[in-house]
Amino acid sequence: MSTVASQKVVSIDYTLKNNNGEVLDTSNGREPLSYLHGSGNIIPGLEKALEGKQAGEQLAVTIEPAEAYGERDERMVQQIPKEQFAEIPELAVGQQVRGQTPEGTHVLTVVDIADDAVTVDANHQLAGETLNFDVKVVEVRDATEEELQHGHAHGAGGHQH
Ligand code: ZN
């Protein structure tokens, strides 16, 4: 049976909206997204909602931040001396840059640029957002050995490598 369960590769069409009805992301016009179920490839709330669903099923699911990208943490908004951005020629508000911290590499969003300091936000852009997904399960298949080893789906809509 093509039922969504752990160690299955699941392909989904989806549209993601925030609570204002704005589309944040969609697979429309692209390959369906393929992921390895049960491996944390997608946000926990969506993985839970898809558990046990069949190919062809459609669902609408609302996911609170704790089951999505987490709550915003204002301590992750920080000012950094501007000279550390010297090698980025046209730094702009809204731009995303990679930053090195003791915990590893983070994607930082530039939120303000002053004369001597740049304010960056290391929160995920969807942190604190309630997410509304319209999802259609397109295909469910067994994962290959290699996919299970890698912990993700291969092929169209998955990892290409
Ligand atoms: Zn792989």
Q: Tell me how far the alpha carbon of residue 136 lies from the centroid of ligand 1, in angstroms.
A: 24
The pTM (predicted TM-score) of the whole model is 0.83
For 46-100, the pLDDT digits (tens) are 999 999 999 999 999 999 999 999 999 999 999 999 998 888 888 999 999 987 7
Going by the DSSP 8-state scheme, the letter that residue 85 receives in this structure is: G
Q: Tell me how far the alpha carbon of residue 5 lies from the centroid of ligand 1, in angstroms.
A: 19
Q: Tell me how far the alpha carbon of residue 148 lies from the centroid of ligand 1, in angstroms.
A: 9
According to DSSP, the residues that pair with 58 across neighbouring strands are: 136
* Polymer length of the chain: 161
- Whether 97 and 119 have beta carbons less than 8 Å apart is answered as no
